[in-house]
Chain A
Amino acid sequence: MDSYLSDPSVFQINRMPAHSDHRHKRGFAEKESSFYQDLCGVWDALYTEDIENRERDFYRLDFRSDEFHKLKVPGHAELQGLGKIQYINTQYPWEGIEMLRPPMVPVKTNAVISYVRYFDIDERLRGNRLFIVFEGVEQAMNLYLNGEFIGYSEDSFTSAEFDITNYVRDTGNRLAVEVFKRTKAAYIEDQDFFRFSGIFRPVYIYAKPECHIDDIDIRSTLLPEKQAEEPAHEEKKGFLNKLKSMFSGHKDRKDVKVSASGNGRFSLSLKLSATDSFQLYEVSASLSDAEGNVLYEKRCGADSGIAFDEEDFDVRPYSNKDPYLYTLRLEVLRNDKTVETVEYPVGFRRIEIIDKVIYLNGERLIINGVNRHEWSPYTGRAISLREMEEDISIMKRNYINSVRTCHYPDSIPFYFMCDEAGIYVMAETNLESHGSWQKMGAVEPSWNVPGDDPAWKDIVLDRARSNYETFKNHPSIIFWSLGNESYAGECIREMDAFFKERDPSRLVHYEGVFHRPELKASISDVESRMYASPDEIREYFHQDGSKPFLLCEYMHSMGNSLGGFEDYDALIDEFDGYQGGWIWDFIDQALYTKRADGKEVLRYGGDFSEKPSDYEFSCDGILFADRTEKPGLEEVRYFYERRIR
């Protein structure tokens, strides 16, 4: 086996650094960007049950793939007849079959899918620098183009991007992708869900013109109320503390002052790349409101890094009730001719902790939340835009104001939908190692990863970085979450420090530190629990209460459930620091399959003869798998409507 599959220090080879999720066009008027070429469709795929026997030569130019299976991309192999569908919760999926310890990679339970796809480069892309992007491949991939090794990437739920400029031809390209169902990454992708493999999110190629904006970093903040500008001396001191807490950890902003010129503060920095001298190019940036009024306008010469001056002006705050978005327009020009344009939504809001209570735009934050796995009863986690849109509209009509992207980054379009809908996002990093520290219901971290093991530090930090860099500009995101149920140790502490250092404008969340209270000072801005009873929550406030309290999971909506909601709702009035939570979870994970007689039926964990399994535990939604409402949603709606703001 390739040694890096079991080496925690190698989680990518030649993968491009993660960057903001903007899309560039040839002009503001362009509807669909002509810089992009979709590679989705039906690909050839060779499926090998066991990694040791995989076809190693499949990437070679002369290796014929016409006898291969046909697999739809994006899509899971298991839902297209290749490999076993398996649902399992905390146990590792090889439980009872292979005896492994990190970072050993399974053999018997480790299929490989060798994908091949032939393509020509669209004429409109030719002659440019070309990059290929895989938005989601479970769990790891080797990439080959025209017989050459291009790179390797892990992390099922974040984009893997590779520079193919030097390997690609205009026509007759042969793309070969070797997808591993499991690598050592399996230890930190032990989420409670169906275990799939394959290229399950879009794949595309994009062209970078001669000068291109690689990364955008937008900082848009709602400043504290103006009436606080001239307080009495004592009050002023309190006010400054308030500001300090708002920007704590951010070195550059300690001198922040309330501006007289507006309630919104905007700053922008860009990273660019060019094939020739930057001096040939200019960059313009403007911010306009929904009516088209321009509030901010800059123009300067291009460079690899541009930091525009910070400016204050009056803005309409961004919130769930009023998700008011401004539009940032960027343009790269050469001799006044457009090279590329970018548009990106901007919202102004302020999330802060004052005296152990979370405030959003100066108002106490109440989370009417839900955990959401991406799910389609037909295609698993390869979900359509229509399904995402439906999820958003179900949330809005049920007064759900927040989503936790359990337990991995979601598809990119979903974040833009949340921006528009004002759904507050807890953006969770793809990390869960539940089976490495909890066994038979007991905390037993004898071989926990990542834990304190330096060998596992970079691999989890990389996931934090990918999450942050990709989604950092979304106004809907108010929390970064380090992952789920991975216990706590030095590696997770470093992830926390990474987010704090990079982003003082949002809060960091992690629940698992609950098991190691001695680390609470350096992990998580909030006290987060799952399934704590109302009395246990009262106990927290009476005995500790040092951080605001959130339930990252509560009201386990498995089967006919959701009883006793009022007992949690009452806590909102009892403790200012109790700020709600995210129901577990949004939608039942069940799959349509055909019975022997051809009838289409919904099946759940264990129904696919997969062993071991955790059976109907896959179905805990407030929606049934077909997105119809469970009756108990009536109760959720009642309480969430009362608390929405």
Chain B
Amino acid sequence: MNVVFGDYTLGVHAKDASYIFSYAKGGLESLSKNGTEWISKPVRPLFWRATTCNDRGNGFSYKSSVWMGADLFTECSGISVSVDGHGFCQDEIIAPANNKLIDSHYRNAKSVTIIFEYRVSFSDAARTIISYTVTESGMRTDYYYHGDESLPSVPALGIRFIIPFTLDGYEYEGLKGETYPDRCHAAEGRYSVDGLPVPQYVVPQECGMHIHTKDVILRKGESLLEIKGSDFAFSALPYTALELESAWHHDELPYSEKSVLSLFAAVRGVGGINSWGADVREDCQIDAGRNYELSVVIS
């Protein structure tokens, strides 16, 4: 693979796929496969799923609202790169240090890893790390969340990819229909979904979750993107969590030509006992003090 040590970015060019990681924007900026660009905006961690009627009723939305800010605004606090096992700290790859790399053997690599570390404004302890390892066979993506027990419960933890077009649909191996940790007695199988359906809860809210997933293949025309893991959750929707959160009616949701692919390390349940106080079962809540991780291969 050809490695480009840019002044702003790190480019990695495999046979079928190209990747650009932005130091400036703090995340994966381009994933191009066979001429199709899959990334619209630099990839960032997510901390929010739109709250449900039950969340609003039991005060979760209020108690955990700081995470909504984090979902919108995180800071990339550190970057490191490793090429075929050789580690570079940030200073060793950005200008002017990169001048020395123009003819180095690192320009031709079998494996390139870039690690982004993110922080939220309200905690020194909470850290999110997203690590991408590119090889000819694809991009392994690892997500780690290191907890801060002083923080309120989180609605969701994971990575959000904004895809610049509306998917034709997707296929996944997992559970039938929309599932959550406390609502997942659905048949296992391989399911195909046309378009990006949004369940019509009258007030737009969290929806479209698929937990216990092994594999997802996104489809746009002839172009496919596969996300493979052992047991992860995902949703593919035309809207971000914040867009869903802000709308009172479906027709107030913005015009969207994008697809929002969210990969989750942890998902909060939806609850059901009542909508005016009962919390989600404790084992289906996300404890902000714990650590969570997610590992998938994107190809």
Residue positions of A touching B, CB distance < 8 A: 441, 531, 533, 554-567, 588, 590, 595, 599, 601-604, 607, 616-617, 619-620, 624-626, 628, 630-632, 634-635, 638-639
Please, which residues of chain A bring their CB within 8 A of the CB of B53?
Answer: 558-561, 616
Smallest beta-carbon distance A10→chain B, Å: 38
**A590-B202 contact, Cβ under 8 Å, with A558-B54, A561-B53:** yes
Q: Are A604 and B202 in contact (CB under 8 A)?
A: yes
In the complex, what residue of chain B is closest to A628 when comparing beta carbons?
B200
Q: Which of B77-85, B90-98, B266-274, B286-294 contacts A (4 or more CB under 8 A)?
A: B266-274
B30 within 8 A of A: no
Q: Which of B186, B199, B272 contacts A564 (CB 8 A)?
A: B272
Q: Which of A564, A630, A632, A634 contacts B281 (CB 8 A)?
A: A564
B176 within 8 A of A: yes
**A619-B202 contact, Cβ under 8 Å, with A558-B275, A562-B270, A564-B273:** yes
Scoring A560, A567, A602, A632 by chain B CB atoms within 10 A of each residue's CB, the highest score goes to A560
**A563-B180 contact, Cβ under 8 Å, with A531-B273, A531-B274, A595-B251:** yes
Q: Are B202 and A588 in contact (CB under 8 A)?
A: yes
Q: CA of A547 to CA of B207 in the docked complex: distance in angstroms?
A: 40
Q: List 8 A-B contacts (CB under 8 A).
A: A560-B206, A561-B54, A563-B269, A564-B273, A602-B202, A607-B249, A634-B186, A635-B184
B201 within 8 A of A: yes
B284 within 8 A of A: yes
Smallest beta-carbon distance B60→chain A, Å: 13
Please, which residues of chain A bring their CB within 8 A of the CB of B185?
Answer: 565-566, 634-635, 638-639
In the complex, what residue of chain A is closest to B208 when comparing beta carbons?
A631
Q: Are B201 and A564 in contact (CB under 8 A)?
A: no
**A561-B177 contact, Cβ under 8 Å, with A625-B202, A634-B186, A639-B185:** no
Q: CA of A554 to CA of B271 in the docked complex: distance in angstroms?
A: 12
Please, which residues of chain B bring their CB within 8 A of the CB of A441?
Answer: 276
B280 within 8 A of A: yes
Q: Which of B176, B182, B205 contacts A563 (CB 8 A)?
A: B182
Q: Are B275 and A563 in contact (CB under 8 A)?
A: no
B16 within 8 A of A: no
**A563-B202 contact, Cβ under 8 Å, with A595-B251, A632-B183, A635-B185:** no
Q: Which of A562, A595, A616 contacts B183 (CB 8 A)?
A: A562
Q: Are B251 and A599 in contact (CB under 8 A)?
A: yes
Q: CA of A619 to CA of B52 in the docked complex: distance in angstroms?
A: 13
Q: Which of A533, A559, A595, A602 contacts B275 (CB 8 A)?
A: A559
Please, which residues of chain B bring their CB within 8 A of the CB of A631?
Answer: 177-178, 199, 207
Q: Are B202 and A616 in contact (CB under 8 A)?
A: yes
B278 within 8 A of A: yes
B102 within 8 A of A: no
Please, which residues of chain A bring their CB within 8 A of the CB of B275?
Answer: 556, 558-559, 561, 617, 620
B125 within 8 A of A: no
Q: Are A531 and B54 in contact (CB under 8 A)?
A: no
**A560-B200 contact, Cβ under 8 Å, with A565-B183, A635-B186:** no
In the complex, what residue of chain A is closest to B57 when comparing beta carbons?
A558
Smallest beta-carbon distance B52→chain A, Å: 5
Please, which residues of chain B bring their CB within 8 A of the CB of A604?
Answer: 202-203
Q: CA of A561 to CA of B269 in the docked complex: distance in angstroms?
A: 9
Could you tell me the dominant secondary structure of chain B's interface residues? loop
Please, which residues of chain A bring their CB within 8 A of the CB of B272?
Answer: 555-557, 561-565
Residue positions of B touching A, CB distance < 8 A: 52-54, 57, 176-178, 180-186, 199-203, 205-207, 249-251, 269-276, 278, 280-281, 284
Q: Are A634 and B200 in contact (CB under 8 A)?
A: no
Smallest beta-carbon distance B235→chain A, Å: 12
Q: CA of A449 to CA of B273 in the docked complex: distance in angstroms?
A: 29
Given contacts A559-B205, A563-B270, 20 further A-B contacts (CB under 8 A): A531-B274, A554-B273, A556-B272, A559-B52, A559-B275, A560-B199, A561-B54, A563-B180, A563-B183, A564-B271, A564-B273, A565-B183, A590-B202, A632-B183, A634-B176, A634-B186, A635-B186, A638-B185, A638-B186, A639-B185
Q: CA of A631 to CA of B176 in the docked complex: distance in angstroms?
A: 10
Please, which residues of chain B bring their CB within 8 A of the CB of A634?
Answer: 176-178, 185-186
Q: Are B176 and A559 in contact (CB under 8 A)?
A: no
Q: CA of A506 to CA of B280 in the docked complex: distance in angstroms?
A: 37
Q: CA of A624 to CA of B203 in the docked complex: distance in angstroms?
A: 11
Please, which residues of chain B bring their CB within 8 A of the CB of A617?
Answer: 275
Q: Are B206 and A531 in contact (CB under 8 A)?
A: no
Q: Are B249 and A601 in contact (CB under 8 A)?
A: yes
Please, which residues of chain A bring their CB within 8 A of the CB of B205?
Answer: 559-560
In the complex, what residue of chain B is closest to A620 when comparing beta carbons?
B275
Please, which residues of chain B bring their CB within 8 A of the CB of A603?
Answer: 249
Q: Are A602 and B182 in contact (CB under 8 A)?
A: no
Please, which residues of chain B bring their CB within 8 A of the CB of A590?
Answer: 202
Q: CA of A153 to CA of B1 in the docked complex: distance in angstroms?
A: 85
Smallest beta-carbon distance A406→chain B, Å: 16
Q: Are B278 and A533 in contact (CB under 8 A)?
A: yes
Q: CA of A638 to CA of B185 in the docked complex: distance in angstroms?
A: 7
Q: Are A563 and B186 in contact (CB under 8 A)?
A: no
Q: CA of A560 to CA of B57 in the docked complex: distance in angstroms?
A: 12
Please, which residues of chain B bring their CB within 8 A of the CB of A602?
Answer: 200, 202, 249-250
Q: CA of A555 to CA of B54 in the docked complex: distance in angstroms?
A: 11
Q: CA of A564 to CA of B178 in the docked complex: distance in angstroms?
A: 14
Q: Are A556 and B273 in contact (CB under 8 A)?
A: yes
Q: Are B182 and A564 in contact (CB under 8 A)?
A: yes
Please, which residues of chain B bring their CB within 8 A of the CB of A563?
Answer: 54, 180-183, 269-272, 280-281, 284
Smallest beta-carbon distance B242→chain A, Å: 17
Q: Are A560 and B201 in contact (CB under 8 A)?
A: yes
In the complex, what residue of chain B is closest to A633 when comparing beta carbons?
B177
Smallest beta-carbon distance B185→chain A, Å: 4
Q: Are B278 and A531 in contact (CB under 8 A)?
A: yes
Query: Which 3 residue pairs spanning A and B have beta carbons closest together?
Result: A559-B53, A631-B178, A563-B182
Q: Are A561 and B270 in contact (CB under 8 A)?
A: yes
Q: Which of A554, A559, A628 contacts B54 (CB 8 A)?
A: A559
Please, which residues of chain B bring their CB within 8 A of the CB of A566?
Answer: 185
Please, which residues of chain B bring their CB within 8 A of the CB of A632?
Answer: 178, 183, 270
**A560-B52 contact, Cβ under 8 Å, with A555-B272, A602-B202, A604-B202:** yes
Smallest beta-carbon distance A550→chain B, Å: 16
Q: Which of A555, A616, A638 contacts B203 (CB 8 A)?
A: A616
Please, which residues of chain B bring their CB within 8 A of the CB of A562?
Answer: 183, 270, 272
In the complex, what residue of chain A is closest to B54 when comparing beta carbons?
A561
Please, which residues of chain A bring their CB within 8 A of the CB of B249?
Answer: 601-603, 607
In the complex, what residue of chain B is closest to A532 when comparing beta carbons?
B273
Q: CA of A553 to CA of B205 in the docked complex: distance in angstroms?
A: 24
Q: CA of A559 to CA of B272 in the docked complex: distance in angstroms?
A: 10
Q: CA of A554 to CA of B275 in the docked complex: distance in angstroms?
A: 11
Q: CA of A631 to CA of B169 in the docked complex: distance in angstroms?
A: 18
Smallest beta-carbon distance B197→chain A, Å: 10
Q: Are A564 and B54 in contact (CB under 8 A)?
A: no
Please, which residues of chain A bring their CB within 8 A of the CB of B182?
Answer: 563-564
Q: CA of A619 to CA of B207 in the docked complex: distance in angstroms?
A: 16
Please, which residues of chain B bring their CB within 8 A of the CB of A556?
Answer: 54, 272-275
Smallest beta-carbon distance A591→chain B, Å: 10
Please, which residues of chain A bring their CB within 8 A of the CB of B250?
Answer: 601-602
Q: CA of A554 to CA of B180 in the docked complex: distance in angstroms?
A: 19
**A559-B201 contact, Cβ under 8 Å, with A531-B273, A564-B281, A601-B251:** yes
Scoring A563, A603, A631 by chain B CB atoms within 10 A of each residue's CB, the highest score goes to A563
Please, which residues of chain B bring their CB within 8 A of the CB of A560?
Answer: 52-54, 178, 199, 201, 205-207, 270
**A567-B186 contact, Cβ under 8 Å, with A616-B202, A624-B200:** no
Q: CA of A531 to CA of B280 in the docked complex: distance in angstroms?
A: 14
Please, which residues of chain A bring their CB within 8 A of the CB of B201?
Answer: 559-560, 619, 624, 630
Smallest beta-carbon distance B212→chain A, Å: 14
Please, which residues of chain A bring their CB within 8 A of the CB of B186?
Answer: 634-635, 638
In the complex, what residue of chain A is closest to B177 when comparing beta carbons?
A634
Please, which residues of chain A bring their CB within 8 A of the CB of B184?
Answer: 635
Please, which residues of chain B bring their CB within 8 A of the CB of A558?
Answer: 53-54, 57, 275
**A561-B52 contact, Cβ under 8 Å, with A556-B274, A603-B249, A624-B200:** yes
